[in-house]
Amino acid sequence: MEKKHQINLWYAFVALMLVLMFQSWWTAYTTIEQIPYSQFEQYLKDDKIAEIAVKENTIEGRFRDPPKDSKKYFVTTRVDTTLAEELGKYNVEFTGVVQNTFIRDLLSWILPVLLLFGLWAFFIRRFAEKQGLGGMMTVGKSKAKVYVETDVDVSFKDVAGVDEAKRELKEVVDFLQDPKSYGRLGAHVPKGILLVGPPGTGKTLLARAVAGEAGVAFFSISGSEFVEMFVGVGAARVRDLFEQARKQAPAIIFIDELDALGRARAAGPMSSNDEKEQTLNQLLTELDGFDPSSGIILLAATNRPEILDPALLRAGRFDRQVLVDRPDKSGREAILKVHVKKIKLDPATKLDEVAQLTAGFSGADLATLVNEAALLATRRDAAAVTLKDFNEAIERVIAGLEKRSRILSEKELKTVAYHEMGHALVAANLPGCDPVHKISIIPRGIGALGYTMQRPTEDRFLLSTADLENRMAVLMGGRAAEDVIFGEISTGASDDLQKVTEVARDMVMRYGMDGELGNRVYTEKHQNFLGMPAGDVAEVSDVTQREIDLAIKDSVEKAFLRAKTLLTEHRGDLDEGAGLLLARETLTDQDFPAIRPLAEREKSAAAE
């Protein structure tokens, strides 16, 4: 119920109570006379009373002949009979007084009713909020959280590693601060800006930074909050959101997880959803209806742009798409500098080395990494966070927690040692592979009994056929080592097999790197980002599908045979390295030079 209606009801209730009280008082004042109890007894002795009505606290009656200046009816308050007799002996005028209990009686039933009503309203509202109803009178209201200028304390200096995206959004800030001078040549700011990128790269942080820099109202809402169980509620919330923004213009509307709201509409009747389609249609209408010169900017974020409805992405709606990708090495270093301000860092710690070890990490991953390093340093009572803490934190983020309580048998430990050393030696003896940073046979995470960590020397955005084949050989190095040493294979390579199959599938189906199948793509068109899965398989004939399967199988088998041949040639290094690993549990390239990159070892040998 609206607030003004609630106030009107209270006014009506108070007025009714006042009228009833006035009527009761007026009736008593004009027709009934209040007399003392002692006088009542005297009137009774003088036979001046015609009739009486005895009540619990009062006696009401009618005079035979009303005394001079008296009314026809009277009322008196009852007094204890024994006390009345005693007082009568002393010729004292006395009367009873009934305590006024009106307020007490009123509160005795009003307070319990109000309490019950309050509890009912509280629990019903809590239940409605959990169910997404929000109350029958407020289901059409927007759930957007409004942040005014003082609330948005994020600026561009708090966002690092996405310089290109910041440059794109700087135009929005300039327009919101001074729209007249910005449009002096007739240009106008885009109606909608879509932030696109993998999870954790800082899309929401960028949107808040725009609002903080511009100093305007910031409306933040998730796409899933528009859609409810009642048809039409989502559309009403879209209208209400834009109406609120117009009242507080200039303002920024930010819709997070736009794919929950703007998923492509299905053509078939069986897969349609009227509520979602009405909500999307209302959003499209609002995008067409508002003028960007009014000072309202629509920002949205998604990590799945390929499933958005094409009508959202056309010109005139979301005019600009800004890619917020995973940062490169310099970007990761800049992000680390932002996060280490909150911790006590050892001056000897070089953040560029940490950035080099964290290829593929997003901004959120780096924030978690810094926090994990600080926790590790705190746990060992250190005075500051060192590079050692960062290295251990990287291992925890990538491989999981150490499981020293997981006791392996002697045979299992030996198998794991040869398996991990096989990965390391294949990587060390193939050109172009990332150098091995650390080998461990300490169990980590859910199922990892050991791991081999490689340190990328640079960010790579293009990979050749040889690079991918070398990567596949490294992945198969563990299983190949088991076959060379024990003559049998174990289940320890399950994760390796999954990864090597994905690489082989991509080579055949996405990159056209198979000579028999030719230079074509066998996957559906898919807008892909670093680390995101490939698209669905395109419609191909059974014969072509068989050729694809055989090509993938052939690529994996070649990688296995290549790794096995290489490890057979370096059997001495394999045995020596596995023995050291069993003795120490953890090895680096300083402990075992045979796992250093081939080029580095050749250069060292030439120098000697």
pLDDT of the residue at 560 = 95
On whether 198 is known to bind a ligand per the annotation, the reply is: yes
**Does the predicted TM-score (pTM) go above 0.75?**
no
Pick the CATH number of 329-399 from 1.10.8.60, 1.20.1260.10, 1.10.3720.10, 3.40.50.2300: 1.10.8.60
pLDDT of the residue at 137 = 43
Position 300: which residue type?
A
On whether 188 is known to bind a ligand per the annotation, the reply is: no
Structural domain spans, the chain = 145-266+273-323, 329-399, 410-607
Give residue-wise pLDDT tens across range 463-477: 899 999 999 999 999
Torsion angles phi and psi, residue 293, rounded to 5: -70, -10
pLDDT of the residue at 460 = 75
Residue of 408, 415, 439, 412 whose CA lies nearest to 426: 439
* CA dihedral of residues 565, 566, 571, 577 (deg, nearest 10): -140
On whether 572 is known to bind a ligand per the annotation, the reply is: no
302, β-bridge pairs = 196
- 228, 333, 420, 469: the catalytic one is 420
Task: Decide if 576 is catalytic.
Answer: no
Topology classification of domain 410-607: Methane Monooxygenase Hydroxylase; Chain G, domain 1 (1.20.58)
On whether 199 is known to bind a ligand per the annotation, the reply is: yes
On whether 302 is known to bind a ligand per the annotation, the reply is: no
3-state secondary structure of 523: strand
On whether 105 is known to bind a ligand per the annotation, the reply is: no
Give residue-wise pLDDT tens across range 62-116: 777 777 767 777 778 776 666 555 545 545 454 555 555 556 566 666 777 777 7
Strand bridging mode 32-34 / 73-77? parallel
Phi-psi region of 257 (alpha: psi -120 to 50; beta: other; left: phi over 0): left
pLDDT of the residue at 88 = 54
pLDDT of the residue at 499 = 92
Q: Which two tokens stand for residue 80?
A: 């204890």
* CA dihedral of residues 126, 130, 135, 141 (deg, nearest 10): 120
pLDDT of the residue at 115 = 77
Give residue-wise pLDDT tens across range 379-399: 888 889 988 888 888 888 776
Spans of the chain, pLDDT less than 70: 1-14, 16, 19-31, 69, 79-109, 123-152, 179, 182-184, 227-232, 266-275, 289-294, 399-406, 445-447, 524-538, 602, 604-608
What CATH number should be reported for the domain whose range is 145-266+273-323?
3.40.50.300
Torsion angles phi and psi, residue 321, rounded to 5: -115, 125
